Amino acid sequence: MSAQERLTDALYGLGWGTVKKLPEPVAVRLGRTIADIAWKQRGKGVRRLESNYARVVPDAGPERLAELSRAGMRSYLRYWMESFRLPAWSPERIRNGFDPKDVHHLTDGLASDQGVILALPHLANWDLAGAWVTTELETPFATVAERLKPETLYDRFVAYREGLGMEVLPHSGGTAFGTLARRLRDGGLVCLVADRDLSASGVEVDFFGATARMPAGPALLAQQTGALLLPVTLWYDDSPVMRGRVHPPVEVPESGTRAEKTSVMTQALADTFASGIAEHPEDWHMLQRLWLDDLDPTKGPS
Instruction: For residue range 163-193, list pLDDT tens digits in order.
Output: 788 898 887 656 789 999 999 999 999 999 9
Q: Which amino acid is at 165?
A: G
**Average pLDDT rounded to a whole number, residues 212-226:** 96
**Does any domain span residue 16?**
yes
Give the DSSP H or E segment for 131: helix 126-136
**Does any domain span residue 300?**
no
Question: Domain range for residue 31?
Answer: 3-294
**Does any domain span residue 127?**
yes
**Does any domain span residue 98?**
yes
Please report, rounded to a whole number, the percentage of residues in the chain having pLDDT higher than 90. 74
Buried b (16+ CB within 10 A) or exposed e, 162-178: eebebbbbeeeeeebee
Domain count, the chain: 1
Instruction: For residue range 73-125, list pLDDT tens digits in order.
Output: 999 999 999 988 988 899 999 999 999 999 999 999 999 999 999 999 999 99
pLDDT surpassing 80 at residue 149: no
Looking at residue 20, its pLDDT comes to 81
pLDDT surpassing 90 at residue 62: yes
Distance CA 136, CA 130 (A): 10
Supply the CATH number for residue 26's domain: 3.40.1130
Looking at residue 8, its pLDDT comes to 65
Distance CA 265, CA 261 (A): 6
- 194 sits in the region (left: phi over 0; alpha: psi -120 to 50; else beta) called alpha
Instruction: For residue range 268-300, list pLDDT tens digits in order.
Output: 999 999 999 999 999 999 999 999 999 865 543
Secondary structure class of 211 (helix, strand, coil): strand
pLDDT surpassing 50 at residue 302: no
**Does any domain span residue 302?**
no
**Does any domain span residue 188?**
yes
Classify residue 38 by burial, with Cβ atoms within 10 Å: 0-12, 13-18, 19+. Answer: middle
First CA to last CA across the chain, in angstroms? 30
**Does any domain span residue 186?**
yes
Is residue 234 a contact partner of residue 84, using CB atoms and an 8 Å limit? Answer: no
Distance CA 190, CA 178 (A): 12
**Does any domain span residue 166?**
yes
